[in-house]
Amino acid sequence: MTTNIYERLTELGITLPPIAVPAAAYVPFVRSGNLIFVSGHIARREGKAWVGQLGRDMVTATAKHAARGIAIDLLGTLHAATGDLNSIERIVKVMSRVNSTPEFTEQHLVTNGCSELLAEVFGERGAHARSAFGVAQIPMGACVEIELIAQVK
């Protein structure tokens, strides 16, 4: 039996945030057929960009926590896109950019913060393909930015 996603969120102590207002010339999501493409969401702390660079002034565990927060924000946008998270058939793809020095090589571990939460919420439907990149900078100096593609019924 499939668990109701909203019951699962309550069990995890997660309250969905409202959809984020785009910071530039784009929309928060686009639906094409049965796929929803969610624009990149940056890490936020206390309502502002969570600034930091891995390998310089931030450690993996902290950025992993930031990536988990992004996953919650992505869920809020998916809720706005679908009206019902129970209509998500599968999280198809997650793409993560980690603000990091050239020497930092744990982008995949940072991104686990998002991937693990999606699996906790959606179970098998949350298993996804993924890419994690180290980049020289992210808008507003954020430590992590993540986007995703979801399939709906």
Residue 124 belongs to domain with CATH number:
3.30.1330.40
Residue 135's domain comprises: 28-38+50-152
Distance CA 24, CA 81 (A): 19
Band of pLDDT at residue 2, cut at 50, 70 and 90: low
Query: Is 83 part of a structural domain of the chain?
Result: yes
Residue 11 in domain:
no
Please count the structural domains in the chain.
1
Nearest CA among 23, 63, 70 for reference residue 44:
70
Alpha-carbon distance 108 to 13, whole Å? 25
Residue 144 lies in a domain: yes
pLDDT tens, residue by residue, 3-59: 799 999 999 999 999 998 888 999 999 999 999 999 999 999 999 999 999 999 999
Q: Is 145 a domain residue?
A: yes
Work out the number of other CB atoms within 10 angstroms of the CB of residue 124: 8
- Enumerate the β-bridge partners of residue 32: 35
